[in-house]
Amino acid sequence: MFRIFLIFFLSQYILGCAEKTTFYGKIITDKDLNLKILNKNELLTKFGKPSYVDNISKKYFYFTEKKKEKNFYSKKIEYSYLFVFEIDNNDQIINSETINLLTEKNHKYRKIQTNNNIIKRGLLEKIFGGIGTNQMPNPS
């Protein structure tokens, strides 16, 4: 019985220390960034479909992040970038921007947030979800 416990414990100890690499968003390497992309077709061919498209300002957003984990306590984000490409009416790239999300904490895109009304609600409203707050209009 002791041998089984020892083998189980050692296997968990050894396998628990295996490093796990996780990518989020698009996988973009340094080699990809040195490329000069001039128009929308080249951008879509090289990077694929963007993470987000702003149709009003005609901007394409690409997000990429690489995280390494050894165990529950040892998590490290190696890089986290946001790439923004602005496209004109002729499908030419007129502006591109690279934002390091780990170092640039006060960037203009980071400040834009959606309000969270759940935090402002009380305990009972959080639990019951606003039961009875919607009233039917009075038909006249």
Which residues lie below 8 Å from residue 51, measured CB to CB, with a gap of 6+? 25, 26, 61, 62, 63
pLDDT in tens, 3-34: 887 887 777 666 666 778 888 888 776 666 66
Q: Name the residue with higher pLDDT: 130 or 106.
A: 106
pLDDT in tens, 47-61: 889 988 988 888 999
> Taking the complete model, does pTM exceed 0.75, yes or no?
no
Question: Could you state, in order of their start, the residue ranges of all structural domains in the chain?
Answer: 18-128
Question: Where residue 92 falls among pLDDT bands split at 50, 70, 90?
Answer: very high
| SS3 (DSSP) at 128 | helix
